[in-house]
Structure 1
Amino acid sequence: MKKITLCFLLLGTACSINAQKINLGKAAGMVSNGAKALTFTNEDAIKLSKESVEWMDKNNPVAGPKDPYTVRLNRLFGKHKSQDGLNLNYKVYKVKDINAFACADGSVRVFSSLMDIMTDNELLAVIGHEIGHVKNQDTKDAMKSAYLKAAALDAASSASSDVASLNESQIGKMANAFLDASHSKKQESEADTYSYDFMKANKYDVVGAYTAFKKLALLSQGSTQTNFEKMFNSHPDSNKRAESIKKKAEKEGLWKDPGTVTLPAAKLTK
């Protein structure tokens, strides 16, 4: 699994330690610096993200309504479908990548292998982080870049500065193109803050955000130059992010020592 832009990646990182992959085509070529000339609105980002997610939903295994993964996500996420002025929809992808993402149109997708290793509070922290990316509109520039790659356009030299419709093949390329990009450390930090505030406002245990980052840190250890580790290099250090949450929770009297954080030996599907 590669990094996600429009569909924003799990706490700023992804994992491809297993053989099964989310189903995506090859990305189109790079776009020149002239792409900034394209007129591109938040509405365009929303429209194109919706098309991209619909394509991914058709090309990847989605947990059914009675699947234990869906039942669990409904229990956790159902009350947050209308959150902070956003209309959100969510599904579970039954793939081995450890990830989650949110898109400009409010689509949130959580991967079953992530649910296997995260407790309820940790998943809620992840969900809060993804909602933060949507609320903060961290999608526009990334979606523009993905669109231009998929359409093989250079906005500076194209005949029109308007966003055109894409065919099915181009939508698949766009889905892959935004998986190839990342967002800034500042955006990640702001989404971390949103997640913490989301947990606090809803009276969830904010320590879940701390332990989620500690687990991500554990996943990044023990192997050199893996895709997972390479992606960590472009994002804030997970241990440092965990410590930042701990300091904030201690200051606000919300810290409860979770003890040593380890990766579970069995799936946490309930």
Structure 2
Amino acid sequence: MAKLFYLSGLTAALILAGCQAVNTTSGGAVGVERKQYMFSMLSSAELNQKYAQSYQQTLSEASQKGELDKNSTNAKRVDAIAKRLIAQTPVFRPDAAQWDWDANLIDSDELNANCGPGGKIIVYSGLIEKLQLTDDELAAVMGHEVAHALREHSREAMSKAYGVQMASQIGSVLGVGQVGLGVANTGVEYLMTLPNSRSNENEADLIGLELAARAGYDPNAAITLWKKMEQAGGGAPPEFMSTHPSSGSRIASLQAAIPKVMPLYEQAKGKRG
């Protein structure tokens, strides 16, 4: 056991040598200030470029199937909401104003939306239609996804995965047995990866809430959104074993943050008349 602890410390030192502590966004009114550890060899520009290629492939495949929706009412809603949210992103990181943003609606029953590295947004029509989302609720879910991109959660997750892989390889070279590696990997998964993943979701909730409020969308819609998601999803796994917060804790966190962003919403609503 002492040998395992020694090797764990040595491995951690070697891994941290390739990491840099960053805070990808400002805290905003919601106060997201957590430092993130990124591998310096995995640059934002490189990841954005690779994701842009994957994004274009997804759009191309959807277009070939006749599923890329550019003209429907919902497609126009997605486009309009995206523009208003994107206009607020420099509040959290000024360089986002130069990102090559894009937003598209794909005709699919899938209850999903995402925003990949560099600002590539996809919304699936099933999310809007099955949950009968209002503009405010759609802004809440799109703001959440945009927040993931601003915080570079994909890059952070890849950095963690690389760290786990490196730890396993170093441990094998230094002679840690398979049982020891299994214990180490399980510990990394539950003590590092999953808690931080839940933390990432909470950060996206909070930043998304503020983005939507600054764009003139009612922050209270985030509560009705997640209640609809809860009803659509049925039973959820225990929070400790999940990468996502339970609906109850998610809603409680959002409710606590709404008073912080409500003045921003009132100000934006006043400007829009």
TM over 0.5, shorter chain: yes
- Is it true that 1:214 corresponds to 2:214 in the alignment? no
Measured on the aligned residues, the alpha-carbon RMSD in Å equals 3.5
Residue 249 of structure 1 corresponds to 258
Higher-Rg member (1/2): 2
Residue 240 of structure 1 corresponds to 249
Match of 1:199 among 212, 233, 238: 212
* Counterparts in 2 of 1:143 and 1:96: CA distance versus 1, 3 Å: farther
For residues 206-227 of structure 1, give each alpha carbon's deviation from its aligned partner in whole angstroms, at most 9, with x where no partner exists.
0011111111111222x688xx
The residue identity in structure 2 corresponding to 1:243 is A
For residues 17-67 of structure 1, give each alpha carbon's deviation from its aligned partner in whole angstroms, at most 9, with x where no partner exists.
xxxxxxxxxxxxxxxxxxx99932111111111111111112225433322
| Mapped partners of 2:236, 2:227: distance in 1 | 18
DSSP-derived class of the 2:41 partner: coil
| Mapped partners of 2:47, 2:209: distance in 1 | 26
Aligned residues: 187
Residue 68 of structure 1 corresponds to 73
Shift of 1:81: 4.0
Q: In 2, are the aligned partners of 1:213 and 1:239 still within 8 Å (CA)? A: no
**RCO comparison, higher one (Cα < 8 Å, 6+):** 1
For residues 97-149 of structure 1, give each alpha carbon's deviation from its aligned partner in whole angstroms, at most 9, with x where no partner exists.
100001112101001011112211111011111111111111214457999xx
Q: In 1, are the aligned partners of 2:59 and 2:68 still within 8 Å (CA)? A: no
Structure with greater helix share of residues: 2
Q: In 2, are the aligned partners of 1:101 and 1:110 still within 8 Å (CA)? A: yes
* Counterparts in 2 of 1:120 and 1:47: CA distance versus 1, 3 Å: same
Shift of 1:246: 1.9
For residues 157-187 of structure 1, give each alpha carbon's deviation from its aligned partner in whole angstroms, at most 9, with x where no partner exists.
9xxxxxxxxxxxxxxxxxxxxxxx9870111
Shift of 1:247: 2.9
- Is it true that 1:59 corresponds to 2:64 in the alignment? no
Q: In 2, are the aligned partners of 1:46 and 1:104 still within 8 Å (CA)? A: yes
Matches within 5 A, 1:157-176: none
Q: In 1, are the aligned partners of 2:102 and 2:121 still within 8 Å (CA)? A: yes
TM-score between both structures, scaled by the size of structure 1? 0.58
* Counterparts in 2 of 1:246 and 1:48: CA distance versus 1, 3 Å: same
Q: In 1, are the aligned partners of 2:85 and 2:212 still within 8 Å (CA)? A: no
| Mapped partners of 1:251, 1:145: distance in 2 | 32
The residue identity in structure 1 corresponding to 2:148 is H
* Counterparts in 2 of 1:122 and 1:55: CA distance versus 1, 3 Å: same
Q: In 2, are the aligned partners of 1:184 and 1:235 still within 8 Å (CA)? A: yes
Match of 1:40 among 33, 37, 42: 42
Q: Where does the alignment leave 5 or more consecutive residues of structure 2 unmatched?
A: 1-37, 163-168, 171-192, 264-273
Q: In 2, are the aligned partners of 1:210 and 1:242 still within 8 Å (CA)? A: yes
DSSP-derived class of the 2:153 partner: coil
Shift of 1:250: 5.2
Worse overlay, 103-112 or 77-86: 77-86
* Counterparts in 2 of 1:224 and 1:92: CA distance versus 1, 3 Å: same
Q: In 2, are the aligned partners of 1:49 and 1:104 still within 8 Å (CA)? A: yes
| Mapped partners of 1:58, 1:143: distance in 2 | 26
Question: Among the aligned pairs, what percent are the same residue?
Answer: 21
* Counterparts in 2 of 1:146 and 1:113: CA distance versus 1, 3 Å: farther
* Counterparts in 2 of 1:146 and 1:96: CA distance versus 1, 3 Å: farther
Q: In 2, are the aligned partners of 1:45 and 1:144 still within 8 Å (CA)? A: no
| Mapped partners of 2:44, 2:260: distance in 1 | 37
Q: In 2, are the aligned partners of 1:102 and 1:130 still within 8 Å (CA)? A: yes
The residue identity in structure 2 corresponding to 1:140 is R
| Mapped partners of 1:248, 1:197: distance in 2 | 9
Residue 110 of structure 2 corresponds to 97
